[in-house]
């Protein structure tokens, strides 16, 4: 049965639940208020008298919706929750036509003080040409543009009120590309944009539009890059949403990054992407996974920092080359994959391969890994969801060591700065791992404080080499160990007290252990 629709002329009404109507008219002196957990769907037009008020509200995890099928006239207000100056938010005006000066006056005492220039406010766009954020002065009369993104911080985390026109048609935004892909830690092709509507938008519909706009959007980066609210931006700060992860809704007023081609141009937000949410919300609202698919994450752990890259194996659209909207470039992560075929040198945050590649052995996935000299790093697998019996191994082509990552982590310390591809590759096998390259899980390596010796205890399958490194990756000692002995004691009395790394390697097995010599 269809839901009833109404023609409503409003003098004073408060929507805390959802409502459907044909025409909505806010009369002079009237007020219409939509609470953060409600939505209003107008199947025809909305009219707001110049002396009337239509207010949409939000809190940190709930954002109201006004969905207008027809046209909207008059000025509406959207009270958009904005994070504090400690984390900041990427935002976009849910309604448009207001100058920043007018916006700042309406929100006096709410916008945080700028961090770039303390006389300014913590609100401004991303300057793509120079790769930096800008902060506006309170008196700046620059218009706040629909679909343009801004970085903002409020005092303590509170709503900032926007006043302007409700967009009911497709909204275009100009995006540009400054020369250079990556310069001095900035991504100059990055464009900060955002949801221009007073409704949620379907992330999948936006990703589809990004993929279709190949003249404007870099096909390797046909994805949404959402900010996770971290105080310090890094690669792990960005949540990547593409066709494999796009079962999400983007709230009204939410900003995000898209990546331009060298030509740039106009990207259009289609009105068909609009939708409403009836669930508990956040800036990016997770949806249910549409299809079960084999996948896992590769993690790189360095000190307290964790980076990851995702691999998916799907029946359709997954291949060894570029799959637009299914593969997604990384914004500078210290671990990523490169395309198996026809690579253009891009580091990927998400790569889609065919399900047949779960068992194929005629390929290897290049890994981009960035680690400083002397820094301990660990590569591991997380969120493993693949058919039983499928195994993945890491091939270290510098040390000639292979490690079954589905059973073991791999720890290493490069002696010189490591960057790009060439050292690590990922392979797969669906049978029992028959390669002799396995980790020495049963062999213990530890130091004895009383005897000032290193102890290697356990059965070696082959004669092995033990190399002791300092924390800068310099070789301190090298010892040959015979497989005929199950316990080896190594004198380290001439080694200074401190933290060291011991690597046991016979080109068929490998184990790396951090230890303290006292």
**CATH code: domain of residue 500:** 2.60.40.3080
Helix (H, G, I), strand (E, B) or coil at 210: helix
Q: Are residues 364 and 399 in the same domain?
A: yes
Helix (H, G, I), strand (E, B) or coil at 461: coil
Nearest-angstrom CA–CA distance, 375 and 360:
34
Whether pLDDT at 433 is above 50: no
Output the pLDDT for position 2: 32
Q: Are residues 271 and 321 in the same domain?
A: no
238 vs 102, higher pLDDT: 102
Whether the pTM exceeds 0.85: the reply is no
Nearest to 501 by CA among 473, 465, 478, 464: 473
Q: Are residues 448 and 388 in the same domain?
A: no
Q: How many helices (H) and strands (E) does the chain have?
A: 2, 48
Q: Are residues 261 and 317 in the same domain?
A: no
Q: Are residues 430 and 476 in the same domain?
A: no
Residue 180 belongs to domain spanning: 171-285
Tokens of 232: 């310090």
Nearest to 398 by CA among 431, 420, 429: 420
Reported as a pLDDT band with limits 50, 70 and 90, residue 394 is very high
Q: Are residues 306 and 222 in the same domain?
A: no
Does 130 map to a domain?
A: no
pLDDT in tens, 246-267: 778 999 999 999 999 989 999 9
Last residue of a domain, one of 240, 263, 285: 285
* Helix (H) or strand (E) segment spanning residue 203: helix 203-212
Nearest to 329 by CA among 309, 349, 313, 307: 349
Whether pLDDT at 431 is above 50: no
Output the pLDDT for position 236: 57
pLDDT in tens, 14-58: 655 566 767 888 989 889 999 999 999 999 999 999 999 999 999
Beta bridge partners of 448: 453
Q: Are residues 202 and 276 in the same domain?
A: yes
Does 146 map to a domain?
A: no
Average model confidence (pLDDT) across the chain: 87
Q: Are residues 463 and 413 in the same domain?
A: no
Beta bridge partners of 68: 42
Nearest-angstrom CA–CA distance, 223 and 243:
8
Residue owning tokens 């002397």: 374
Q: Are residues 416 and 477 in the same domain?
A: no
Q: Are residues 275 and 312 in the same domain?
A: no
- Which residues have a Cβ under 8 Å from the Cβ of 368 and sit 6 or more positions away? 335, 336, 337, 338, 347, 419, 420, 421
Nearest to 129 by CA among 175, 169, 80, 82: 175
Tokens of 7: 């023609």
Last residue of a domain, one of 79, 94, 127: 79
Q: Are residues 305 and 385 in the same domain?
A: yes
Does 165 map to a domain?
A: no
What is the 8-class DSSP label of residue 145? Answer: P
Residue 105 phi, psi (nearest 5): -65, -45
CB 332 within 8 A of CB 262: no
CB 299 within 8 A of CB 381: yes
The Cα-based distances of 513 to 202, 386, 440 in angstroms read 47, 29, 11
Does 161 map to a domain?
A: no
What separation, in Å, do the N-terminal and C-terminal C-alpha atoms of the chain show? 78
Last residue of a domain, one of 285, 320, 336: 285
Nearest-angstrom CA–CA distance, 515 and 501:
6
Output the pLDDT for position 19: 67
Name the domain count of the chain: 4
Whether pLDDT at 10 is above 60: no
Q: Cβ–Cβ contacts within 10 Å for residue 6, how many?
A: 12
Nearest-angstrom CA–CA distance, 134 and 124:
5
Residues recorded for the chain:
518
Does 462 map to a domain?
A: yes
Does 136 map to a domain?
A: no
Does 159 map to a domain?
A: no
Tokens of 415: 């002696």
Residue 457 phi, psi (nearest 5): -130, 125
Q: Are residues 302 and 381 in the same domain?
A: yes
| Out of 11-15, 26-30, 195-199, 504-508, least confident range | 11-15
Nearest-angstrom CA–CA distance, 362 and 300:
25
Does 499 map to a domain?
A: yes
């Amino acid at each position: 049965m269809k839901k009833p629709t109404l023609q409503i002329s409003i003098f004073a009404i408060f929507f805390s639940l959802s409502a459907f109507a044909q025409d909505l008219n806010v009369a002079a002196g009237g007020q219409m208020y939509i609470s953060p957990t409600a939505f209003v769907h107008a199947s025809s037009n909305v009219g707001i008298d110049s002396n009337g008020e239509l207010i949409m509200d939000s809190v940190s995890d709930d954002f109201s919706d006004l969905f207008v099928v027809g046209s909207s006239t008059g000025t509406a207000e959207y009270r958009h929750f904005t994070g504090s100056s400690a984390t900041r938010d990427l935002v976009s005006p849910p309604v448009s036509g207001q100058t920043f000066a007018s916006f700042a006056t309406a929100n006096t005492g709410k916008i945080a003080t700028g961090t770039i220039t303390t006389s300014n406010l913590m609100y401004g766009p991303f300057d793509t040409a120079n790769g930096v954020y800008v902060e506006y002065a309170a008196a700046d009369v620059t218009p706040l543009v629909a679909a343009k993104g801004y970085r903002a911080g409020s005092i303590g985390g509170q709503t900032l009120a926007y006043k302007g026109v409700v967009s009911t048609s497709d909204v275009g935004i100009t995006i540009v590309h400054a020369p250079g892909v990556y310069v001095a830690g900035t991504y100059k092709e990055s464009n900060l944009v955002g949801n221009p509507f007073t409704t949620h938008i379907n992330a999948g519909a936006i990703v589809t539009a990004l993929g279709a706009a190949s003249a404007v959007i870099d096909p390797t980066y046909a994805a949404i890059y959402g900010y996770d609210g971290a105080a310090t931006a890094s690669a792990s700060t960005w949540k990547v949403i593409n066709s494999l992860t796009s079962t999400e809704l983007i709230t009204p007023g939410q900003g995000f990054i898209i990546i331009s081609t060298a030509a740039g141009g106009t990207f259009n937000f289609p009105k068909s992407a609009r939708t409403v949410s009836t669930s508990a919300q956040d800036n990016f609202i997770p949806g249910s996974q549409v299809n079960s698919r084999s996948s896992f994450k590769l993690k790189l752990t360095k000190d307290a920092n964790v980076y990851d890259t995702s691999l998916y194996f799907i029946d359709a659209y997954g291949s060894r080359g570029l799959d637009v909207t299914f593969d997604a470039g990384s914004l500078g992560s210290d671990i990523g994959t490169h395309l198996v075929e026809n690579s253009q040198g891009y580091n990927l945050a998400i790569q889609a391969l065919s399900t047949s590649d779960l068992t194929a052995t005629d390929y290897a996935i290049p890994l981009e890994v960035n680690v400083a000299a002397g820094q301990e790093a660990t590569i591991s697998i997380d969120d493993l969801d693949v058919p039983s019996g499928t195994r993945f191994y890491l091939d270290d082509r510098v040390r000639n060591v292979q490690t079954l990552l589905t059973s073991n982590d791999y720890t290493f310390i490069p002696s010189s700065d490591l960057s790009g591809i060439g050292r690590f590759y990922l392979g797969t096998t669906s049978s029992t791992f028959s390669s002799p390259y396995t980790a020495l899980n049963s062999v213990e390596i530890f130091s004895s404080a009383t005897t000032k010796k290193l102890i290697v205890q356990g059965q070696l399958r082959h004669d092995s080499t033990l190399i002791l490194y300092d924390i800068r990756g310099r070789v301190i000692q090298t010892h040959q160990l015979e497989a005929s002995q199950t316990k080896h004691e190594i004198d380290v009395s001439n080694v200074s007290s401190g933290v060291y790394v011991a690597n046991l390697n016979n080109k068929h097995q490998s184990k790396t252990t951090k230890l303290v010599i006292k």
